[in-house]
Structure 1
Amino acid sequence: MSEARRLTGPQKAAAVMLALGEEQAAALFARMHEDEIRDLSAAMAQLGTVPAAVVEGLCREFAEQLGQAGHLVGTYESTERLLMRTLPRERVAQIMEEIRGPAGRTMWDKLGNVNESVLANYLKNEYPQTVAVVLTKVRPEHAARVLSLLPESFAMEVVMRMLRMETVQKEALEGVERTLKAEFMSNLARSQRRDAHEMMAEIFNNLDRQAESRIMSALEERNRDAAERIRSLMFTFEDLQRLDGAGMQALLRAVEKDKLALALKGASEQMRELFMRNMTERAARLLRDDIAALGPVRLRDVDEAQATIVALAKDLAAQGAIELHSGPDEEMVP
C-alpha cells in the first residue's frame, strides 16, 4: 500500500470514481459543483495506471472510514483545524471567510442570500452600471427588494442601465465578481463574527421587562463588567428619545396606531410627550383618547408593543430613513 500512500486526495478520489464505472460515476458527477468536477476530472486524466491491488486498497479504506465514522460533530473550529493540516494559513483564512459568509456556491448565489438592506447599503455607493449587473444576476424578487431600498434617483439610473444592457462580457462579469469578493463578501464574513455581548444585547432587547430585570440582576452578581457591556449595547424603547424630529416623524408614519397607543400606555409621560410633540394637535388628542380607552392592559402586551416599535426603528435605520445614535453622550462632529 506504499504506492497508495503517495497518492493525493484528488488522485484517490479519481481512482475510486474510475473503479465505480461510468454509470455510478456519472451519478456522482451530477451532484458535484463545477469546480469539483473540473478538479476531479483533471486528476482522473493525469492518473495513469493504478495497480488493481492499490484500487482494492483504496476502496477498502474508503469503506472502512465510512463505516467507522460513528457520531460526528462539524464546527467552524474543527473544519479550520483540519484545513490547517494540509493548506497554507492564508488559504485556510480565505476558505473560512467564504464559509462564514452567506450560503451559496457561486458569488451570485451568495448575494441572493444577503439581507436586502445590507446589500442595498453597499450597492448605493457603487457605479450604477455595476449595480445593474448585480441585479440582473440575482433572483428577480430579491433584486426588486434591493432596488426599492436604493435612493430614488440612483435607482432610476440603475433601471435605465438595466434596460439598455446587452450581454455582459465575461471579463466585465469576472471583474465585478472579484470586486464583490474582495470588498463586500470578505467584510461581510468578518462582520458576521459577532461579539457575544452584541448577540446577548439583542436577546435582552426581546425579553419582557420582568425577565430582563431578573436575568440582568443575576448577571451583575456573576459578572458586572459583562452586564454593563450588554446594557450599553441594548436599544430600548426609552432610547427613542435620541431620535431627532425628522426621525421621530418618519417612525410615526410607519408605526401602526394601535401598537403606538399600547406602547405608550405603559410609558412615562416624558415618552408620551416626545411622540405627541411630533404630531398634529388633532392627532395627539386622538392618541390620548385611544390610550385612555384601552383601560387596564397587561405589562407583557405593553412590552411586546414597545419591542415592535423598537424593531421598526432599527429597520428604518438600516434603510437609512432615520438615524439611531449609539448613546446619549455620543460625540457629534459639527
Structure 2
Amino acid sequence: MTSYSPLTTAECAAVFLMLLEDQEAAGLLGQLQPDELQLVGTTMCALGEIAPGKVADAIAGFVAEAEIEGLPLDDRQQRVSALISQAVGPVKGESLMQRIAPDAMPRSIEIARWLSPAILFSLIEEEQPQVIAILLLMLEAETAAQILASLGEEVRPRVVERIARMGQISSDTVSMLDQLLAERIANRFGTAALTLGGAREAANLINLAAPDVGQQVLPAIEKRDADLARAIEAEMFTFEMLLELDAKDMARLLRDVDNQHLVTALKGLDEEGQEPFFAAMSSRAADGVRDEIELLPKLRRSDVTDAQKTIIDLARKLADDGEISIGASDGEFV
C-alpha cells in the first residue's frame, strides 16, 4: 500500500481547486488575499501529478476542517443571494430569494414591482440618478426600460452610466431605498399601498388553467361563500368567450343586442375577432355593421369596454335563462 505524507493546508486547497470547473475555481481564487493567492498558485504548480490518494486526502482534510470550524451564519442570506444573482442574474436572483427567504427582500421594493411604470416614475423622478439606477436594477427589465425612457434627457445618461458602473450594493443602501419607497407609496396610496387579488384576478387564473380547474374550484368555494363564487363566476364571462358561441347561440344573442353597443364593442376587435358576430348575421346586416364601424372615429378604450360589458351582461342573463350556453361544453357555470 502506497503511503503519502500529510498534505498542507495550501496543498489541500490546491487539489480541491483543481477538482472544480475553471469558472468555479476562478471565483474562489478571486476571494483570496494577494499573499494567499500567490501561495495557492505556487502550490498548484508545484504539486505535479496528483495521485488518487492525494485527492482523497485533500477532501478528507476539508471534511475534518469542517467538523472543527463549521460554517458561520453571519450574512448567510446575503451570501446566498449574491451567489444566486451571479448564477442567474440580479432580477431572477432576487425573485428566487423572495421565494427562498421571503423576509430577505424589503417589502416596499417588492410592492414596487406591482406598480405600473408610470406610477413608479412619478415616485422617483426627482431622485438622484444613483437612487434611480438602484431601483431600475431591482425591477423587471421591461418595466425598468419604460421608466428609463420617461426620464429627462439630462438624467437618462447619468442613470445608465451608474447602472454600468454599479458593483455590490450594500444592505444599508437597499434599506434606504426601501424606506424611501415606503414613504412615497404611503403618501400616494395610503398605508394600504396595494390591494392585491380579488374576484377578477381569481377568475383570470381559472380562465388560464385547465378546464377542470374551474369545474372543481367554483363549487367548492360556493359551499363556503356563495356570494364570492358568484363574483368570481361573473368575472369569468369575458367578451372573448362570446367568440366561441355557436352560430345559433350567437344569433340569439344578437337579437337582443343594441346596434350601437354592438358597433362600439366590435370596434375594439380585429377582423378575426369580429367574424363570429358577422357569421351569425345576414350578409346585408353584416355589411351595414362593417360600414358603421368604419365610420366610427377613434374611441376611448373605456367606451369599448363598457359596450362589451353590456353585451356580456346580456349574454349572462340569456345563459342563466338557459337560452344560450357559454363556457364549458358540459353546461357548468352557465
TM over 0.5: no
TM-score, normalised to structure 1, is 0.36
TM-score, normalised to structure 2, is 0.36
Say which one has the larger Rg.
Answer: 2
